[in-house]
Amino acid sequence: MTDARTLVSAKIERLLISANRLRQFALIRLAILGAMAIVAVLIRNVTAIAAGPLLATIGLLAAVTLLVLAVLRTEAGSKLARPASKRLTAFLVGLDIVGLTAIIHYSGGAENPFFPLYALPIFMAAAFLGRTAARVSAGAAALLYAIMVIAEWQGWLPHHHLLELRGDLTHTAAYGVMQCAAVAITCLLASEGTILLVSFLQRFTRDLAADQRRADSSAAEMRDLNDQLRAANLELQHQRTHLDAAYAELQTAYDRLESRSRRMSELNEKLRLANAECKARREELAQVNEKLREALGRLETRTEHMGELNELLRAANAECRAKRDDLERVNAELALANRKLIELEDVRAQFTLLTTHELRAPVAAIQSYLKLILEGYVPQPKVRETLEKAERRAMEQLALIADLLELGRIGSADARGLVQPVQIETLLSEQLELLAASARERSITIETHIGENLDAVRANPDQIRSLWNNLISNAIKYNRDGGHVTITLVQGDGRLIGSVADTGIGIPEEAMTRLFSEFFRADNAKAQSRMGTGLGLSIVKEIVERGGGQITVESEIDKGTTFHFWLPVVQASQPSAEQTEPDAALA
């Protein structure tokens, strides 16, 4: 529980020094200054006061008050710390005492009966700054008023008559001393009265806090006692419930005992009757017993025959269940094989259509170019250019056929027979030498990070070369001039983990799902380079998956693409190719 005295003291601190209180006091000052200005305007024609300096002083005080209000209404002003609030309050109190002295001087001096207004800044000092500040403010007000009276009496300051009095009233030392004494007494009484009032409020607040603590302590004790009484009441209720349940069980047991006693009497009478009847039928039972012995002998003979038949039926049933399980397993295998054949047939038909389309387009273009030349539609200067176009389409056709042959050879028996332990970092170096020239032509830098002492993987060397060639050539082809290609190859968790990253055009998000499909090329890839069969990534995916690995891709448009793949390494206990080939042949 938070200490009540601390909470009350914190509330008093916030009450004494707060921006809200300062705003309220500033509004009161503004209202008093406004009233003074109105009175000065109304009486300036019927008195001898210095209306101009008086209104100027009031206007200056009002301007400062408005400035303080503007500051307090800002976010920083509404959260002033205590030292800043005290300094602002002290400034306003001092300004009010000086300003009020000037107003009294310009509106009659010692003749002005409104010197009790000095009590307002003294109240503010006592309420906001403490008793010391209140007494200092009272002394300052009395001192300034005495200086003003002495200065007017000695003629150091001009005296402005309030009601055009020309007597010796303001030039009498006794009058001046009495006025100064009245002001001093008024200021002292105001400060001491305010200090006493604030002290009384603080003592009253501390008493309230002490009463609150005692009340909280009593409430806590009452709550503990109440909890104990509640627990005792619950215990009594629980025990009463047990007693009621025990009484009900006893009553039930007594009822059952009486009921059993009655039934025992009835049974005893029936037993007497039954005993008599048993004695009468004992002879009949002896005859029936003899017949039963004869029937039992016959039944035992039949039981032996039934046991033999049951064993034969059980054996036949087990054989039928075994054959039924075999038939169900064969049926499931046939259904699965049928589904796979249907899926393979669909894939073959789709692949045949795509292959036919991709092969037909270059042949049609070459035939169209040759027909235009043979029929004379191409001018002689354009013949070489047209033949070069036909040659490029022929080269595209050859590249497509080469990719199709490679895609077909990946799963062939010949390719499987060439599987052996391969150091793929060596094949990577070979492909980098072959592709270095195409990278230099476009000022593309290639950076490699290859781990040390990498284990071999079981794969076809030509397929690994094709994997590196497709990934690195794509990274160069679809990169920007002056771009960068980073190749990483490390080992971990029984795998070789490789990646090829570029800073090229990237792959659109909508193309990611079809990226490894046959003949697929993204739109931005077609715009970057017309050359391409759309089979490279299909070949790469097939090589990696047949090697027991996996390939993934990350890409961002206009920032680049990264292909990640992994392949299992050759373990020390893994059999060599010569050992596995006979087993495969037997399978």
- In this predicted structure, what is the pLDDT of residue 414? 44
Residue 251 domain flag: no
Q: What is the mean pLDDT of the chain?
A: 76
Residue 320 domain flag: no
- In this predicted structure, what is the pLDDT of residue 253? 85
Tokens 């690995």 belong to 549
Q: Could you report the per-residue pLDDT of 127-154, keeping only the tens digit for each?
A: 777 778 888 888 888 888 888 888 877 8
CA distances from 110 to 139, 156, 417, 564 (A): 18, 14, 125, 99
The answer to whether residue 280 scores a pLDDT higher than 60 is yes
Query: In the 8-state DSSP scheme, what is residue 507?
Result: -
The answer to whether residue 29 scores a pLDDT higher than 80 is no
Most confident region among 19-33, 391-405, 489-503 by mean pLDDT = 489-503
- In this predicted structure, what is the pLDDT of residue 488? 96
Most confident region among 17-31, 83-97, 466-480 by mean pLDDT = 466-480
Q: Retrieve residue 289's tokens.
A: 């017993």
3-state helix/strand/coil string of 515-576: CCCCCCCCHHHHHHCCCCCCCHHHHHHHHHHHCCCEEEEEEECCCEEEEEEEEEECCCCCCC
| Domain stop point among 203, 218, 233 | 218
Q: Could you report the per-residue pLDDT of 397-431, keeping only the tens digit for each?
A: 565 565 555 555 555 444 454 788 999 999 999 99
Domain count of the fold of the chain: 2
CB 489 within 8 A of CB 562: no
- Where is pLDDT greater, at 186 or 465? 465
Torsion over CA: 100, 105, 108, 111 (sign) = positive
Binned at pLDDT 50, 70 and 90, residue 450 comes out as: very high
Residue 522 has φ and ψ, to the nearest 5°, of -65, 155
377: amino acid identity, one letter: Y
- CA–CA dist 134, 145 (Å, integer): 17
Rounded mean pLDDT of 261-272?
A: 84
Domain at 566, CATH number: 3.30.565.10
Rounded mean pLDDT of 199-216?
A: 73
Range of the domain at 48: 4-218
- CA–CA dist 486, 471 (Å, integer): 11
Q: Could you report the per-residue pLDDT of 291-340, keeping only the tens digit for each?
A: 878 878 777 777 777 878 788 888 888 888 888 887 888 878 777 767 75
- In this predicted structure, what is the pLDDT of residue 537? 83
The answer to whether residue 168 scores a pLDDT higher than 50 is no
Binned at pLDDT 50, 70 and 90, residue 169 comes out as: very low
Rounded mean pLDDT of 240-253?
A: 85
Residue 471 domain flag: yes
For β-strands 560-568 and 550-556, DSSP reports them as: antiparallel
Rounded mean pLDDT of 430-447?
A: 91
Asked which of 89-93, 323-327, 361-365, 507-511 is least confident by mean pLDDT, the reply is 361-365
At 3 the three-state DSSP class reads coil
- Where is pLDDT greater, at 491 or 110? 491
Tell me the HSE value of 329 on the side-chain side, using a 13 A CA sphere. Answer: 6
- In this predicted structure, what is the pLDDT of residue 194? 65
Binned at pLDDT 50, 70 and 90, residue 8 comes out as: very low
**What DSSP assignment string belongs to 143-202?**
HHHHHHHHHHHHTSS----SS---SSSTT-HHHHHHHHHHHHHHHHHHHHHHHHHHHHHH
| Domain stop point among 166, 201, 218 | 218
CB 544 within 8 A of CB 567: yes
Most confident region among 177-181, 208-212, 253-257 by mean pLDDT = 253-257
Q: Retrieve residue 460's tokens.
A: 């076809």
Rounded mean pLDDT of 162-177?
A: 50
Rounded mean pLDDT of 496-515?
A: 89
Bridge partners of 499, per DSSP, are: 488, 564
Q: Could you report the per-residue pLDDT of 543-555, keeping only the tens digit for each?
A: 898 888 999 999 9
- Where is pLDDT greater, at 260 or 202? 260
Asked which of 27-31, 218-222, 415-419 is least confident by mean pLDDT, the reply is 415-419
CB 18 within 8 A of CB 81: no
Residue 570 domain flag: yes
Residue 426 has φ and ψ, to the nearest 5°, of -70, -45
Asked which of 35-44, 77-86, 418-427 is least confident by mean pLDDT, the reply is 77-86
Residue 412 domain flag: no
- CA–CA dist 535, 386 (Å, integer): 27
- In this predicted structure, what is the pLDDT of residue 395? 62
| Domain stop point among 173, 199, 218 | 218
Torsion over CA: 19, 20, 25, 30 (sign) = positive
Spell 47-57 as b/e; 16+ CB within 10 A means b: bebbbeebbeb
Q: Could you report the per-residue pLDDT of 518-569, keeping only the tens digit for each?
A: 667 776 666 665 555 667 788 888 889 888 899 999 999 989 999 999 999 9
- In this predicted structure, what is the pLDDT of residue 447? 95
Residue 377 domain flag: no
Residue 141 domain flag: yes
Percent of residues in the chain assigned helix, strand, coil, to nearest 5: 75, 10, 20
Residue 98 domain flag: yes
Q: Retrieve residue 514's tokens.
A: 């079809």
